[in-house]
Amino acid sequence: MRRIGVVVNPIAGMGGRVGLKGTDNKVEEARRRGAEPRSPERAVQALSHMAQQGVDVELLAYGGEMGEDECRAAGFDPVVVGSPGDEDTSAEDTKQAVREFVGYEPPEGGDPGVDLVLFVGGDGTAVDVAETLVELGGDTPMLGVPAGVKVYSSVFAVTPRAAGRIAVTFDRTERREVNDIDEDAYRGGDVNTELKALAWVPVGEDVQSSKQVGGGTVEQLAQAVASEISEETGVTYVLGPGSTVDAIKTELGFDGTPLGVDVWRDGEVLVRDTTESDILDNLGENNVIVVSPIGGQGFIFGRGNPQISPAVIERSAVEVVASRQKLDDTGVLRVDTGEQELDDELRGWQRVRVGKFERRLLKVV
């Protein structure tokens, strides 16, 4: 039987669809903007898929919305090892949960601790879990269910379903990087990643790589795409984040939001650094989303651009752009929109614009 400790950061990812690019120190602002919790739903997705694997598993969970509620919603009866002290959960609650998991003594005897800490959140949560495991010593592995806006660390499964499966089927682990960035700098357009810890993580094809800031010129690509956009009338363009799409924004003649989403139509910017709600308000009859995969990971939806929500995607065509070098390094494309049916629809072969005329076929897996 495999014993797994489950801890959920219930506020992770709340800032994404309302344009905050993270929730660190921004929870109240996210709520004022109408943000709704994202991580509990993704936790249930992971745990429900875990239950379908037919593996004998015992779950330990932190109380209430930090794990217990999600475990019960997925059909488990977890051992509750503690509860958050205040109404508003904190990083210290996450750390205490990990301490309880590692120090757990089964009442009937047997091996103490857990075989895995399964956490739900983003890079900030990953840092809290990893640093606590390092503090406690030993080699307890960790695995993340991606729910934050920033998911740069290589300790996350590529989707919640993948996390649920890997958690009960892995047979070996390896050391991987836990990274985080300064959210205030990130909101200002600067990405400064910092290695925070090394953690033991299950080995599997569906454990994501750390984000690479890829190189290679995109000048000709940006010029070609911008030229075609400029010639279109009545088409609303949702321009995603990243250096490749930012180069297109520059060619269009405006100072875009490098790490946010901007909306353009008929020669003008309708909204900058926008939210899901503002995007939906500005969509027209013909809409095109322009996105570039994250280097080293391949995600086109679900990492860094939650403002481009399922509701936006369902009303739009999708144009994927990337340098040849990035595609060579990435190999496949990935999606994790939070809606399984839409993910399934998006999977398959996708044309990716790599130059003025050239396109390549790459598989969305």
Residues 68 and 139 in one domain: yes
Residues 163 and 279 in one domain: no
Q: What is the CATH number of the domain that holds 36?
A: 3.40.50.10330
Residues 306 and 255 in one domain: yes
Q: Are strands 299-301 and 317-321 parallel, antiparallel or unpaired?
A: unpaired
Judge whether 209 lies within some domain: no
Domain with 60, as residue range(s), is 2-202
Residues 67 and 182 in one domain: yes
Judge whether 13 lies within some domain: yes
Quote the mean pLDDT of the chain: 87
Residues 119 and 40 in one domain: yes
Residues 179 and 301 in one domain: no
Cα distance between the two ends of the chain: 31
Residues 127 and 160 in one domain: yes
195-209 pLDDT tens trace: 888 899 999 888 987
3-state SS class at 119: strand
Q: Which residues of the chain have pLDDT under 70?
A: 13-36, 86-87, 149-150, 181-193, 210-217
Judge whether 12 lies within some domain: yes
Largest pairwise CA distance in the chain: 72
End position of a domain, from candidates 145, 171, 202: 202
Judge whether 213 lies within some domain: no
Residues with Cβ within 8 Å of 346's Cβ and at least 6 positions away in sequence, in order, are 301, 313, 318, 335, 337, 364
Can you give the pLDDT at residue 215? 42
265-284 pLDDT tens trace: 999 999 999 999 999 999 99
Which tokens belong to 268?
A: 């003008």
Does the pTM exceed 0.85? no
Residues 150 and 63 in one domain: yes
Residues 65 and 192 in one domain: yes
What number of residues does the chain have?
Answer: 365
Judge whether 185 lies within some domain: yes
Can you give the pLDDT at residue 304? 87
Residues 60 and 170 in one domain: yes
In the chain, how many domains are there?
A: 2
Under 8 Å between Cβ of 218 and 189: no
Tokens 């809409």, residue located: 287
Residues 242 and 172 in one domain: no
Distances (CA, A) of 228 to 217, 267, 315, 323: 19, 12, 21, 18
Judge whether 133 lies within some domain: yes
Which tokens belong to 22?
A: 């993270």
End position of a domain, from candidates 142, 175, 202: 202
Residues 281 and 311 in one domain: yes
Can you give the pLDDT at residue 20? 44
Judge whether 163 lies within some domain: yes
Q: How far apart are CA 117 and CA 119, in angstroms?
A: 6
Judge whether 277 lies within some domain: yes
